[in-house]
Amino acid sequence: MNRNIIASSLILISLGMAHAESFDNLAQALASPERVTSLSIKEFDSNVKHLPPKLGALINLKELEISCLENLEDIPVEIGQLKKLEKIIIDNGNGCDMNVSIPASIGDLTNLKVLRLFGALGSGETGSPVKPLPATISKLQNLEELDLGRNGLQTIPSEISNLKNLKKLGLDYNNLHDLPAFIGELKNLRELSISSNHVIKLPPSLSKLSGLRISMGNNYLKLKDQVELRRQFPNAAFDFENEYDDDAANEESPK
């Protein structure tokens, strides 16, 4: 290849990289939509109930993070236009409470690898009903990490059974009492976190998974319970570490 052509190509690539930017201000991001690859919206603003449809203009966006927008009601349907999105984090933040509707168009984000909705759908503790997870989540075939922690869940959405490339599933701080058998059919699953669900029953199908790490802290587990779980699921590595030092704390794991 001609050296001049190679040099020109490298200049174009470097210019493209120079225009790829991270923003922490939505208004500034929307002023230069094609330059934005990462957007973080974290500042508390009680007036924000809806994000603008212009969010769909951020066509090169790869990472979107939102936290502590307590009055945010929904994510605009136009998010489905962001075909390059690989990571979405909607986190209720430390001491915040969110209750956000996720649009069905999220299923159009076929490149999405990480979806963290920790407390985003609502905890159910404030009287507002927990927002449902759209059924179209089943279309996210490249999803590797899903966090539904602190969403007041009593059951696991069946659509998760279709996420065959899922490697990490977070279900901490919910109201779960058992897990569906289909969790054991997620053959690529390597991390399952179900801490702080009080007493929770594991399905026998989990024994099919080799190399699975299961975090079960703060679940009122006694030493005999831990021993029995290790017996039932010899291929799994358990973590029973409890973050609280109180009467409900798990007993120490056997050495």
Q: What is the pLDDT of residue 14?
A: 38
Are 36 and 58 in contact by the 8 Å Cβ rule? The answer is: yes
Q: Give the pLDDT score at 6.
A: 39
**How far is CA 101 from each of CA 75, 76, 105, rounded to the nearest angstrom?**
6, 9, 12
pTM > 0.95: no
φ and ψ at 250, to 5 degrees? -65, 150
The two three-digit tokens of residue 108, written as one number: 């159009």
User: How confident is the model at residue 16, as a pLDDT?
Assistant: 41
**Structural tokens at position 230:** 């290790």
Q: Determine the longest span between alpha carbons in the chain, in angstroms.
A: 73
Is 138 within 8 Å of 159 (Cβ atoms)? yes
Which residues are CB-neighbours of 10 under 8 A, at least 6 positions away? none
**Cα separations in angstroms, 67 against 57, 145, 193:** 21, 18, 21
Q: Which pLDDT score, from 0 to 100, does residue 18 have?
A: 41
pLDDT of residue 220: 82
Per-residue pLDDT of the chain (255 residues; tens, 9 = 90+): 444 443 433 333 333 434 569 999 999 999 999 999 999 998 777 788 999 999 999 999 999 999 989 899 999 999 999 999 999 999 986 678 899 999 999 999 999 999 999 999 997 776 789 999 999 999 999 999 999 999 999 999 999 999 999 999 999 999 999 999 999 999 999 999 999 997 899 999 999 999 999 999 888 888 999 999 999 999 999 999 887 756 555 665 554
